[in-house]
Amino acid sequence: MTDAAFDAVTAALLERPTAPMAFETPVSLDTLPTPVLLLDENGLMRNIEKMAGYLGTRNKGFRPHAKTHKCPEIARRQMAAGAVGICAAKVSEAFVLVHAGIDSVLITSAIMSPAKARVLAELSRHASLDVVVDCEAGLELLEAALEGDDRLGVLIDLDVEMGRTGTRSDDEARVLAERISASPNMVFRGVQHYAGHLMHVEGFDARRDRSLRLWETVAGRVEKLASAGFPSEVVTGCGTGTFNIDSEVAVVTDLQVGSYVFMDQEYRLIGGPGSELFDDFEVTLTVATTAISQPMGVRAITVDGGFKVFASDSVNPEPLDLAGSRYRFGGDEHGILLLEEGTQQPVLGSVQRFITPHCDPTVNLHDVYWVHDGDQVYSRWPISARGCSW
């Protein structure tokens, strides 16, 4: 079978830059071609080290998710901080990471296409690669693509109540484990359980109760697999919203935290233990826009960033430079900053920065991070897996 479409897209992915592009001399933030995505490198490193340290002291593995940042340079720093591997949401994201030198990748979504299975088999020859499955048909596709000495780690995706992907039945999980173990090219590694629907439950206690309840069910399923002869070396899952909950669960071996590297407004609003804002990690990602027009007088000013630079699936961008102001979307290219009466008037032409509403899909709208320290921008890091949704 010819995979001409896949050959074309993978060849194009190989052309993408993956290394930082430093400026010879730093440039000032107010000279950038706004709207741009800004990344505070020092804060990013503090977030990475804090998460790695937190999980390390609890004997949990750190398996950060690259779906958030899509950036090999950030993945490299996470590996250097002790990550056991990097997660990729899709084969194409894994493709970019592996070809940029990340040598341990777990693909957290199941694959149901023969051509993708072939790309994955090819990738497994360059790195230690794991993938999740949740049905026999998916396993068959992988089996058909693997050959010779190929080795692919396989985890069974479990669902408890989210209803997105994963198997709910113990029998089905056992049959999958049997089949993986019988394959000369596959290694049964364990299970994944990701409760995405709980990540933004407001209030720490409510989030904790619900997450712990689901893990009890998962622990029972892991036990059943083990007693059928299939012990799990890896029990992976979790996200930023439950990092300080799931890391206390005995059965969990590693956490797939993603958004903590940047923090976004959606996450900040869920609250932490004893605090209204979830502020365990710093906001390191912002969007810089420019105030470009003021047709409605002193109560509002228009900035040059709308749907094309901010994700619009959840809360609104949070203004950073004008206390008391609120952002509302003003179309594809525009946003309206609504100003509190009596607050300082922004000057037309001034830079206005915002905390991203939802970081992952916001990142996917941009080609590079403009890396800065305060007002000085000194590098651009390619978002090499931008648009890698297959």
Ligand X SMILES: Cc1ncc(COP(=O)(O)O)c(C=O)c1O
Q: Any contact of residue 166 with ligand X (CB under 6 A)?
A: no
Q: Any contact of residue 241 with ligand X (CB under 6 A)?
A: yes
Please answer whether residues 60 and 82 qualify as being in contact, where contact means their C-beta atoms are separated by less than 8 angstroms.
Answer: no
Contacts of 206 by beta carbon, 8 Å cutoff, 6+ apart: none
Residues 344 and 71: their CA atoms lie apart, in Å, by 37
Q: Any contact of residue 362 with ligand X (CB under 6 A)?
A: no
Nearest distance from C-beta of residue 274 to ligand X, angstroms: 21
Count of residues that interact with ligand X, criterion CB under 6 A: 14
Residues 347 and 301: their CA atoms lie apart, in Å, by 9
Q: Any contact of residue 263 with ligand X (CB under 6 A)?
A: no
Which of the stretches 245-253, 256-264, 371-379, 382-390 binds ligand X when contact is defined by CB under 6 A? 256-264
165: its two tokens: 């992907």
Q: Any contact of residue 239 with ligand X (CB under 6 A)?
A: yes
Nearest distance from C-beta of residue 163 to ligand X, angstroms: 14
Q: Provide the sign of the torsion angle of the four alpha carbons 268, 272, 275, 276, taken in this order.
A: positive
Q: Any contact of residue 240 with ligand X (CB under 6 A)?
A: yes
Q: Any contact of residue 68 with ligand X (CB under 6 A)?
A: yes
Residues 388 and 41: their CA atoms lie apart, in Å, by 24
Contacts of 260 by beta carbon, 8 Å cutoff, 6+ apart: 47, 51, 240, 243, 280, 281
Q: Any contact of residue 313 with ligand X (CB under 6 A)?
A: no
Nearest distance from C-beta of residue 68 to ligand X, angstroms: 5
Q: How many CB atoms lie within 10 A of CB 182?
A: 10
Q: Any contact of residue 63 with ligand X (CB under 6 A)?
A: no
Nearest distance from C-beta of residue 304 to ligand X, angstroms: 28
Cis peptide bond N-terminal to 35, omega within 30: yes
Q: Any contact of residue 196 with ligand X (CB under 6 A)?
A: yes
The torsion angles phi and psi of 305, rounded to 5 degrees, stand at: -140, 125
Quick one: which of 247, 256, 289, 362 contacts ligand X (CB under 6 A)? 256
The torsion angles phi and psi of 186, rounded to 5 degrees, stand at: -120, 150
Quick one: which of 10, 259, 290, 325 contacts ligand X (CB under 6 A)? 259
Nearest distance from C-beta of residue 194 to ligand X, angstroms: 4
Residues 385 and 92: their CA atoms lie apart, in Å, by 8
Query: E-assigned strands of 123-185?
Result: 128-133, 152-157
Pick the closest to residue 63 from 230, 219, 246 (CA basis): 246
Residues 211 and 110: their CA atoms lie apart, in Å, by 23
Within residues 198-227, the interface with ligand X by CB under 6 A covers 199
Which of the stretches 118-126, 238-246, 326-334, 349-357 binds ligand X when contact is defined by CB under 6 A? 238-246
Nearest distance from C-beta of residue 145 to ligand X, angstroms: 22
Within residues 91-120, the interface with ligand X by CB under 6 A covers 108
Q: Any contact of residue 278 with ligand X (CB under 6 A)?
A: no
Amino acid occupying residue 153: G
Nearest distance from C-beta of residue 237 to ligand X, angstroms: 7
Nearest distance from C-beta of residue 250 to ligand X, angstroms: 20
Quick one: which of 156, 257, 270, 368 contacts ligand X (CB under 6 A)? 257
Residues that bind ligand X (CB under 6 A): 65, 67-68, 108, 194, 196, 199, 239-241, 256-259
